[in-house]
A and B are shown apart, each in its own frame.
Chain A
Amino acid sequence: MRITCPLCGARDLREFSVTGSAALLNRPEEGAELPEWDDYLHNRDNPAGPSDELWYHSGGCGAWLVVRRDTTSHAVLDVRLASEQKT
C-alpha cells in the first residue's frame, strides 16, 4: 500500500502511522454538551467502503494527513493535508 503525501509524493506504508477516523478533526465547540463529547471521543461509524482516516507521516515530512481509503479493497482514493481540511 502506498500513500501519496501532498508534500513528499508516493511513499511506502511503513513511513506512516494511522490514528483512526478523521472524525477527530471535528472537535466540539467549547461548552458543548456531554453527549456531543461522547460522540466525538468514542462513537465511530465502521463503514465497509470509503472511509476518512487520519494518518501521520512520521517517516517523512511529519504532516497529518486525511486519507480517504476503501476499507474493502485498501485502495487509497484521496490524500489531503489535515491542516487544509480543518479550516
Chain B
Amino acid sequence: MGSISLIKAPALEQAPFEAAGLRLEAVEPGPVTALMPYRGRHAAVATALEKSHGLGWPEPGQVIASGGQRIAWSAYNTALVIGAELPPRLANHTAMTPQGDGMACLRLSGAAWRDALARLTPLTFEQDAERGMLMHVPALFLRGDDAVEVFVMRSMARTAWHELQSAMERLAGRAAIS
C-alpha cells in the first residue's frame, strides 16, 4: 500500500527545543498504518506480519519491533504499524487505514522525560504503549529507555508541542530556584 500524502507542509515546523536537560523534537516516523483485524482474524494478521516483517499482533500495552519497523498497540482492537509498507493482501484479514499526514509524532528525550510528562498526564508509563490524555489532547505514548514518542492527531500537534514546551520550561524554572 502506497503512502498517502495530501498535505505538503509537515505538521510541526518548530526547531528542536531544549530545556531542563530534555530535548523536544518533531520526528517523521515513516508510514503509519492503523490495523483493525476483522473478528477472529487476529492470529492470521499476526502470522502474516510475522512472515512479512518479523512482527506480530501486540497485546494491550505492547510494542513489537523488528529492525526499524514496529507494531504498537494503540487502542481497542487497534494497532499502528510504524515505519513499514504493508502488503495489500493483508486486507483480507484486517481493516487497514494509512494515517498519511494525519498523525504527528513528537519525541521527548532525556533521562527526566517522566518529570515533564508528570505535569501533563497522570499516566505512570508502566507499559510500552499507553493511550491517555496530554492535558486535553488525546495521545498515544510509546515509551523508550531515555525517550518517549507522543503520537497525536495532526490538528492538535501544535497544542501538544506547546504543552510539552511549557512543561519543560517550568521544570527548568523550578530547578533554577531550588
Contacts and interface: CB of A to CB of B under 8 A. Distances in A.
Contacts of A49: none
Given A7-B60, A59-B133, A61-B60, A12 B76 contact: no
Contacts, number: 35
B13 interface: no
B140 to A, nearest CB: 10
A36 interface: no
Given A8-B60, A12-B122, A59 B76 contact: no
For A9, A61, A63, the residue with the greatest tally of chain B CB atoms inside 10 Å of its CB is A61
B60 to A, nearest CB: 4
A8 B131 CA distance: 7
A61 B131 CA distance: 6
Interface in B71-89: 75-76, 78
B25 interface: no
Contacts of B132: 8, 11, 15, 59-60
B133 A61 contact: no
A81 B60 CA distance: 13
A62 B133 CA distance: 12
Contacts of A61: 60, 75-76, 131
Interface in B93-131: 122, 126-127, 130-131
A7 B76 contact: yes
Contact of B75 (A6, A12, A62, A81): A62
A12 B60 CA distance: 18
Contacts of A59: 131-133, 138
Given A61-B60, A61-B75, A62-B75, A8 B130 contact: yes
Given A8-B131, A60-B131, A62-B75, 17 more contacts: A8-B60, A8-B130, A8-B132, A9-B126, A11-B122, A12-B122, A15-B133, A59-B132, A59-B133, A59-B138, A60-B132, A61-B60, A61-B75, A62-B76, A62-B131, A63-B76, A81-B76
15 contacts: A7-B60, A7-B76, A8-B60, A8-B61, A11-B122, A12-B122, A59-B131, A59-B132, A59-B133, A59-B138, A60-B131, A61-B60, A62-B78, A62-B131, A81-B76
Interface of B: 60-61, 75-76, 78, 122, 126-127, 130-133, 138
